[in-house]
Amino acid sequence: MDFTVIIPTHDRPAQLAGCLAALARSSYHPDHFEVVVVDAGGSVDLDRAITSFESASWRLIRQQQRGPGAARNTGARAARGRWLAFTDDDCLPEPGWLHALAGQLALDPHRAVGGHTINHMIGNPFSSASQLLIDYLYGHYNTAGGGEARFLTTNNLAVPAAAAFLAIGGFDEIHTRVASEDREFCGHWLQRGYRMHYEPAARVRHAHNLDAAGFWRQHFHYGRGARGYHLACAARGQGRPPFEPLAFYVALIFYPWRCRRQGRLELSVLLALTQIAHTAGFLNALLFERPGADAQPGAGSAPPA
């Protein structure tokens, strides 16, 4: 068994069925990977959604709602594969996804690998802006054209072994209402002397259909996640992470113009709004948030502040 694909989910059977159907179309040999779905305290019966996936062995694990990090860790502890691949229930991995990850994982037993995520909701400006933010961060923190990386998101991430992943504590299970588990994991992974690699050929489509309210909530949670990341760094004795300079944020707002994207004025406004929501979430967590509250899996990653 090469891969265990781990998918946290919470009351989204339709999205989960789409994700599993996409994995069923994988070009990877079905005997060489398994799928572990972790139902994190949901109230919806997922058995019907899971029956749409028939090309590889699968398991459903149910647990209480303790946040996306805890759900992914549960999947890792149950894994039979020598490599772990993480994605989300609203993601559609392309057929060659596992092949592209395997090619890099086989080269280095101490390197995590992240792939390229594409917005599947074409025509939705909120979904487009959210993915554009991640694209900008990948361009800033990761080597262009693939290579060494400093920031990878959990909806398209693979690690070389469950033992190495769990040895560093896996994903954060303490700050469960903030979306910082992937950023915190990347920092911890690099601190332990491991490496990360960005492989753009490992492609996943993200079918997150956002409206204005969902867009604000997502980036507000990212801001709270940044605060959770700061707390995690302090707990490890690393000190507070530095904030990016003003030029970083100016370049972010004008990123749609550099990419020559259609609707770039609207996208620039939305990218500016992400930073307003992010700041509001950070301040909210700083002033009012108490660690240990519940969260839903799939809240997303916390872009660097």
Contact 188, 159 (CB under 8 A): no
Q: How confident is the model at residue 231 (pLDDT cuts 50, 70, 90)?
A: confident
Q: Which DSSP category does 106 fall into?
A: T
Which tops the pLDDT comparison, 245 or 228?
245
Q: How many CB atoms lie within 10 A of CB 265?
A: 10
Structure confidence at residue 164 (pLDDT):
82
Is the model's pLDDT at 195 over the cut of 70? Answer: yes
Is the model's pLDDT at 87 over the cut of 70? Answer: yes
Amino acid symbol at 261: R
Is the model's pLDDT at 301 over the cut of 80? Answer: no
Q: Which DSSP category does 78 fall into?
A: T
Rounded to whole angstroms, how far apart are CA atoms 243 and 304? Answer: 8
Q: Helix, strand, or coil here: 210?
A: coil
Boundaries of every domain in the chain: 3-287
Q: Please write the tens of the pLDDT for every residue from 198-222.
A: 999 999 999 999 999 999 999 998 8
- The whole-chain average pLDDT of the chain stands at 86
Q: Which residues pair with 20 in a beta bridge?
A: none
Rounded to whole angstroms, how far apart are CA atoms 298 and 274? Answer: 18
Tell me what the mean pLDDT of segment 132-153 comes to.
90
Contact 179, 301 (CB under 8 A): yes
Q: Please write the tens of the pLDDT for every residue from 55-80.
A: 558 888 988 888 888 899 999 999 99
Is the model's pLDDT at 299 over the cut of 70? Answer: no
Structure confidence at residue 293 (pLDDT):
45
Contacts for 44 with CB less than 8 Å, ≥ 6 apart: 11, 12, 13
Q: What does 119-184 look like in DSSP terms, one character per residue?
A: E--TT-HHHHHHHHHHHHHHHHHS-TTSEE-S---TTSEEES-HHHHHHTT-S--SSTTSS-HHHH
Contact 12, 43 (CB under 8 A): no
Assigned fold of 3-287: Spore Coat Polysaccharide Biosynthesis Protein SpsA; Chain A (3.90.550)
Structure confidence at residue 297 (pLDDT):
44
Contacts for 289 with CB less than 8 Å, ≥ 6 apart: 177, 178, 224, 227
Is the model's pLDDT at 123 over the cut of 50? Answer: yes
Amino acid symbol at 255: Y
Structure confidence at residue 162 (pLDDT):
77
Structure confidence at residue 55 (pLDDT):
52
Tell me what the mean pLDDT of segment 253-263 comes to.
90
Q: What does 254-291 look like in DSSP terms, one character per residue?
A: THHHHTT-TTHHHHHHHHHHHHHHHHHHHHHHHHT--T
Q: How confident is the model at residue 146 (pLDDT cuts 50, 70, 90)?
A: confident
Q: Please write the tens of the pLDDT for every residue from 1-60.
A: 899 999 999 888 889 989 999 999 999 999 999 999 998 877 787 777 676 665 558 888
Contact 180, 226 (CB under 8 A): yes
This prediction's pTM: 0.89
Is the model's pLDDT at 167 over the cut of 50? Answer: yes
> Which helix or strand (DSSP H or E) is residue 9 part of?
strand 3-9
